[in-house]
Amino acid sequence: MQANIKTTIAALALCGASLSALAATAAPAPAPAAAAPAAAISPAKQALIDKILKLWNIDSIGQSMLQAPVADAVQQARAMLQGRASVEKRDAAMTDIVAEARKFMEEATPITRASADKLIPTTVAPILAERFNEEELRQLVAILESPVKKKFEALVPEMQRKLGEGVAADSRPVIDAKMKGLTEKIGLRLRAAVTP
């Protein structure tokens, strides 16, 4: 039980560190000192921009930003447990850690989505309005609504999975040996750090 608590705390600390690093890199740039007032946008142009933003689904950016550090934290926790805990304790700890990660994502995703929804009109929409004319915006809508684009996007997970399986099979002998060496080095470093 003590090992599970320590592992969970370590994983959450890793997650927190990853999110802090993410927040530091994702911090918005300071606004220019004297920004020129934005030109009025015609209702037709604004309607096209609104349609693009809806089709683009950009408000999910926060979820995407969270997934990488949370997945990294879970993976690091799994690596830390490898060889240090019995299979039963490791599996129980990982079940708890994955559940905590899921709960975190369920709680954090609405927060990041609300933040994106609040910021899109003042960050992304003005860029679209400034850099695209109405005809270009119509073309963007056509691209985003394209059945070919939708078909391609639907195939992306399958293509990534197939490629991932191929890369894993092709590079497994070399990568597994390197991963084992890395895990051992990390384990030695961790033991050295915690040994009085």
Condensed to tens digits (0 to 9), the pLDDT of residues 112-140 reads 999 999 999 999 999 999 999 999 999 99
Any residues with CB less than 8 A from the CB of 92 and at least 6 apart, and which?
4
Residue 178 confidence (pLDDT): 85
Residue 20 confidence (pLDDT): 41
**Closest to 54 (Cα-Cα) out of 121, 115, 152:** 121
Place 194 in a pLDDT band, splitting at 50, 70 and 90: confident
Instruction: Please determine, for residue 6, whether its predicted confidence score (pLDDT) is greater than 60.
Output: no
CB of 144 closer than 8 Å to CB of 52: yes
CA 143 to chain centre: 25
- What percentage of residues in the chain have a pLDDT greater than 90? 41
Q: What predicted TM-score, i.e. pTM, was given to this entire model?
A: 0.58
The predicted-structure confidence for 19-68, as pLDDT tens digits, reads as follows 344 344 344 444 443 344 456 899 999 999 999 999 988 888 888 888 88
Cα 58 from Cα 113, distance rounded (Å): 9
